[in-house]
Structure 1
Amino acid sequence: MAVLKVHGGVLSTATQRVLACLHEKQLEYELVRVDMAAGDHKKEPFLSLNPFGQVPAFEDGDLKLFESRAITQYVAHSYPEKGTELIYQDPKRMATIGMWMEVEAHHFDPVASKLVRELIFKPMFGMAVDSALVTEYEAKLSQVLDVYESRLEQNKYLGGDYFSLADLHHLPCMQCLMGTPVKELFYARVHVGAWCNDLLDRPAWNKVIELTNDA
């Protein structure tokens, strides 16, 4: 049995973020599926892993973590010799990567997640889409992507010339939005569109998609 355990649902974007990191690092892990439809993430024993009742939770031996971005950073730091190098020793390079990780968490994800909820998950559960909210958040996402376009004119990836956690963290919400009209906001920007294609074509990410197809 794998030492590393991920507790979550494969349709959860936060869980997907951790799985993408593990596949990039070519690490074996056990996926412990949490039945979120049944509310198991709000009950014990899951609450002993994450008292906030949100997936994913993660175990590496006696270490227990929650919050997907904290988990990916732990994995990248703990297994530097495995798979893709997602973080770097050079402090200036890592500072730039860290800055764009913060941008994803505080500027991209809050907007993209709202759009995913409105355009993907609400219809999935038979709920009405708030069109006014979609319009508002499309405008906000456009502003973020304008900044990304300027950055990606200068560098292949957000953190520089190499793929890193700063890019990986975008993948789950990006993938979801590719199935909606919001996709056009990404591809209206040449460098952002090329960046999307690069990320979405990564073999590690395709392994995550295979898991969601089996859900």
Structure 2
Amino acid sequence: MAIKVHGSPNSTATLRVVAALHEKEIDFEFVTVDMRSGAHKTPQYLALNPFGQVPALEDGDIILFESRAITKYIASAYESQETPLLNKDKKQLADLAIWSEVEAHQFDPVGSKLAWELFYKGLFGMQTDAAAVEENEAKLVKVLDVYEARLAQSKYLAGDSFTLADLHHLPALHYLSGTKVKSLFDERPHVSAWCKDILARPSWEKALALQKQG
């Protein structure tokens, strides 16, 4: 039975999962969840994700939700296919565990708030909260200083190979790269090189192509 991804092409969490599937070159069916019509709150969808959020993934009789849990499942269940995404070396496995948590708890909360203020609010005709931008820019500076030091030691966050720790950053990096805070990434040479590298991966380009379909 083919893998099904239920989600929205404009959802950062959905794009994270789709990128992981493309890294593994796994065929899947994409099922669009029309959130504007409330499709994510129907009983049918809540059976897949009880929180009524996207995405959800079906792999046969296995049902998953929460994008990072899904990518970890994909990387593990299809470990032998294409890009490894997980480290086997003990030291690099520890690094992967650390930097995956850093993305989820240090980078993403700040990056998501800035993307909301500087990108999404414009789409919805809403006014940017300058104070929120200033507050989160200051937080992002501190995070990126840590990243710069880390990436001076290795090409990627968990070592010299691309892993989930890097992939999980792609959605926020993509949207932030079109805003004024791009300068914060550009002025840090190792962070800048890392961003250009991972944003240029074919898997991410294929994930973004979802937004041009239909």
**Deviation by residue 1:89-125 (Cα, 9 ceiling, x = unmatched):** 2232111111100000000000000111111111111
AA in 2 matched with 1:81: S
Aligned to 2:92: 93
RMSD of aligned alpha carbons: 1.0
**1:131 corresponds to:** 130
**CA distance in 2: counterparts of 1:120 and 1:34, whole angstroms:** 22
Could you tell me which residue of structure 2 aligns to residue 110 of structure 1?
109
Over residues 18-77 of structure 1, what are the superposed CA-to-partner deviations in whole Å (9 max), with x where a residue is unaligned? Answer: 000000000000100000121211222111111111100011000101000000000000
SS at match of 2:30: strand
Deviation of the 1:213 alpha carbon: 2.9
Q: 1:210 matched to which residue of 2?
A: 209
One-letter amino acid of the counterpart of residue 125, structure 1 = F
Structure 1 moving runs of 4+ over 2 Å: 88-92
The answer to whether residue 24 in structure 2 is matched with residue 25 in structure 1 is yes
Secondary structure of 2:166's match? Answer: helix
* Helix, strand or coil at the partner of 1:154: coil
Structure 2 Cα separation of the partners of residues 90 and 195 of structure 1: 22
Measured in 1, the distance between the counterparts of 2:37 and 2:119 equals 20
Residue 171 of structure 2: SS of its match in structure 1?
A: helix
Q: Quote the residue 1:164 is aligned against.
A: 163
CA deviation digits over 1:103-149, x for unaligned, max 9?
Answer: 00000000000111111111111111111101110110111000000
| Counterpart for residue 53 of structure 2 | 54
Q: Secondary structure of 1:7's match?
A: strand
1:1-40 to 2 correspondences below 5 Å: 3-40=2-39
Q: What is aligned with 2:176?
A: 177
Q: Distance in 1 between matches of 2:139 and 2:67?
A: 24
Distance in 1 of aligned mates of 2:4 and 2:181: 34
Distance of 2:67 and 2:186 partners within structure 1: 27
Say if 2:152 is the partner of 1:153: yes
- The secondary structure found in structure 2 opposite 1:212 is helix
Moved more, 189-198 or 93-102: 93-102
Deviates more, 1:79-88 or 1:162-171: 79-88
Please, what TM-score do these two structures have when normalized by structure 2? 0.97
Q: Distance in 1 between matches of 2:49 and 2:140?
A: 30
Deviation at 1:182, TM superposition (A): 1.1
TM-score (norm 1): 0.97
Percent of aligned positions with the same letter in both sequences? 57
